[in-house]
Every structure is written in structure tokens, then in C-alpha cells.
Structure 1
Amino acid sequence: MRLLSLAVQRAGLLQSCGSRRHFWGWLNAVFNKVDHERIKAVGPDRAAAEWLLRCGAKVRFQGFERWHHDYNGLPTGPLGRYKIQGIDATESCIMYRGFDHLDGLKYVEDIKLNKCICIEDACLERLSSIQNLQESVYMMEVISCGNVTDKGVIALHKLRNLEYLFLSDLPGIKDKETTVGRLKTALPRLDVVVDLD
């Protein structure tokens, strides 16, 4: 009887953990929802900054050294004045469904994806397909993103001005030499630093 009681308690605990996990997944999806009306109203840089900060990332605006991480502390002023130059998504919940926020950004030079549990190949493919980012991004880090494989990293070859790429702790990368070789062939100026062992 006691054993049955423990099993019932444990099942309730597991159900509770599953509900909690489901709740956070739902909340992350809400945070990543694209509001096209908001983008039209405040411009792509402001809307993207709001999305990134809402998801726990940081942004650096053109002409500023300081990283902004407080949603309520975003600078105000004339629309279009603040242009995103850097994105640090370390430990954030950004996911594929929110990447449409990046469409209108023209000045992003560096992107850090570090310990982003929702980042997967589709995210890197989407990011690489955005024409403005293909021209502006020259530095990128992808670290400890367990859902990224060779396919996602190879997609970064579309970032034509990419000069520096740091890859670390990516267990989904199975053929490091071929992946790096394909990137270097497509982007001869690219300096790839790999720490996957």
C-alpha cells in the first residue's frame, strides 16, 4: 500500500514538472510572437530590441558601448534613431518563430548565441537568409546550443561579410572538418575558431 502511495505521489510530481515545462514553452512562444503592426508603428530596430530584451537577450545600439538588457530602460527618442549593432542572446529564449523581427535590421555586426536552448538549425538558416544581415554581420559566436548541427552551421556561408566565427560545445556537429571546410571555401576571409572537443 505504501509503495502504491509513493508511486501516485511520484506520478503527480512528474505531471507537475511536465505542466511547468509546458507553461515555460508556452510563455517562450508568446514572447517570440511577431507583431507586424508593432514593427510598422515603431520601426524594425525598436521592435527587434523589444523582442530580444523580452526574451532575455541584450542589444547594443550603434554609437553606444553599453549593452541594454532592461526592457523598461530602452532609450526613447525619434523613431529610427537607435539602430541595433550587436545582439547578445546568451541564455535567452529566442526561437525560430521570433526571427522575423530581424528582417528590417541593417546595422547588426555581431551576434552571440550562447546557451540558447531554443536555437536550432532552422534559426541559423533563417538568420542567414535575411538579406540585410548577409551584408552587415561580420562576427558571430555559437556556443552550447545543443540543437545546432552541421546543417545549421553550413547555412552561415550566406553571411557574405562574416569574418570571424567561434564555435564551441556543439554536440550536434558530427563532421567538423567538412563543415569548416565548406565555410572556408564559401568565405575565404573567414577566421573560424572551433572548440568542439
Structure 2
Amino acid sequence: MLLFGKISQQLCDLKKLQWLCDSRYFWSWLNAVFNKVDYERIRDVGPDRAASEWLLRCGAMVRYQGQEKWQRDYNSLPTGPLDKYKIQVIDATDSCIMGIGFDHMEGLKHVEKIRFCKCNYIEDDCLKRLSQFENLQKSMLEMEIISCGNVTDKGIIALHHLRNLKYLLLSDLPGIREKENLVKAFKTTLPALELKLELK
């Protein structure tokens, strides 16, 4: 009877492990689906509406030009003229946005601030891609990157292409190893930048 109990417990533990692995795969797959870029949708409704749908679908929030209220709920996205709502601020805290969805940002012309906080899928290539968008190079003024474990010096240094960036907060980023080199690089490329480092 004791032996049967041990075997039964081992089988239960095995099932739990299998379920954890399967659920991790499932959520990873679902997040990839949420991030998929629909270029026809961007063409039909415009970059701001399509990017809003993508960001909210992935758990991020947006704020539009001329509005104080944050848009959090996908189901209550505003209706009306497609060119009326322009994204000014993006808060991607705890969201599942990932690099494969970043083409949504290419047409955004009014984004002044982005906050990446506890974004498990944000990595160096995401920041490099972001910094290559010509519209964001002109409009971006502030960025915060906090507790994104896959970001390293390589991703941060790419942000020097955002030539109008005035404020950059880097906090709790264990992947950053060359703090002094980053400071020197930004002093050279973006002398007007206020760089705030909260790194261990």
C-alpha cells in the first residue's frame, strides 16, 4: 500500500511537470499570436489604431495626444475618425510585447515616451529595431527600461539613434556590464540627455 502511494505521488508530480511545460509553451505560443503583425490592418486603420490594438492586446497601456486618461481596455478603444487618436505615451509594464510585433511602431509619429518595465520578452534586438524607426528618432523624448532581464549593453547603446531623447532611466538591468562605457557613449552622442542609472 505504501509503495502504491509513492508511485501514485510520483505520477502526480510527473503530470504537474508536464502540465507546467505544456502551459509555458501554450502561453509563449499565445503571446506570439498576440504580437503578430497584420500589415493589412495597419493599412486599413492606420498605424496608431493598429498599434493601440497590439499594445492593449498584449497588456500594455497607451495615452493619446491631448488626453490625460490612459487607454487600458482593448474593448473600449475609442471610435471615430481614424486619424483622431495619436499615441503619445506607451506604458508596457508587465506586458507580453515582443520583437516580432515591433513593426507596429514604425508608422507612429507622435510617441514621446515609452516605459518598458518587467517585460520578459524585451531584448537587445527590440531596442535596436525601435531605434531604427525614423519617426521615433524624431519624436522620442523619454524612455524608461526597468527590470527587463534580457536587455544588455548592446541594446541600450543602440538608443543613441533616438537623437531627440532627453531622459533615459535604466533600473534593475542585470545584463548591463559596462556602466561607465555607456555613460561615456551617451555623453558623446547625446550630450543633452539626462541619463539616470539605478544599477547594482
Match of 1:130 in 2: 133
Aligned to 1:66: 69
Alignment partners' CA distance in 2, 1:62 and 1:184: 30
CA distance in 1, matches of 2:73, 2:183: 36
Corresponding position of 2:60: 57
- Deviation digits for residues 42-74 of structure 1, max 9, x if unmatched? 000000000000000000101111110011111
Of 13, 16, 35, the residue aligned with 1:13 is: 16
Cross-structure match for 2:190: 187
> What's the RMSD between the two structures over aligned residues?
1.0
Q: Are the equivalent residues in 2 in contact too, given 1:156–1:183 (CA < 8 A)?
A: no
Which has the higher mean CA deviation after the structures are superposed, 41-50 or 10-19?
10-19
**CA distance in structure 2 between the partners assigned to 1:182 and 1:196 by the alignment:** 17
- Rg larger in 1 or in 2? 2
Letter in 2 for 1:34: V
User: How far apart in 1 are the matches of 2:147 and 2:136?
Assistant: 22
Percent of aligned pairs with the same amino acid: 62
Task: Report the count of equivalent residues.
Answer: 197
Q: TM-score, normalised by structure 1?
A: 0.97
Q: Compute the displacement of 1:5 (Å).
A: 3.6
* Residue 109 (structure 2) pairs with residue 106 (structure 1): yes
Select the residue among 138, 158, 161 that pairs with 2:161. Answer: 158
CA distance in 1, matches of 2:118, 2:155: 16
1:138 deviation in Å? 0.6
Separation in structure 2 between the aligned mates of residue 131 and residue 96 of structure 1, nearest angstrom? 17
**Equivalent of residue 144 in structure 1, options 147, 156, 168:** 147
Equivalence for 1:167: 170
Q: Runs of 5+ in structure 1 lacking a partner?
A: none
Letter of the 2:111 partner, please give it.
V
**Structure 1 residue 184 displacement after superposition:** 2.0
Cα offsets for 1:173-196 (capped at 9, x unmatched): 011111222122110000000001
Equivalent residue, structure 2, for 1:42: 45
The 1-side partners of 2:145 and 2:184 are apart by 17
Residues in 1 aligned to 2:142 and 2:16: alpha-carbon distance in whole angstroms: 44
* Residue 107 of structure 1: how far off its partner (Å): 0.4
Match of 1:87 among 87, 90, 93: 90
CA deviations on 1:1-60 (whole Å, 9 max, x unpaired) are 444443332222111000111111011000000000100110000000000000000001
Q: Which runs of 4+ in 1 moved over 4 A?
A: none
1:126-151 alpha-carbon deviations (Å, 9 max, x no partner): 10011100010010000000000000
**AA of the residue aligned to 1:85:** Q
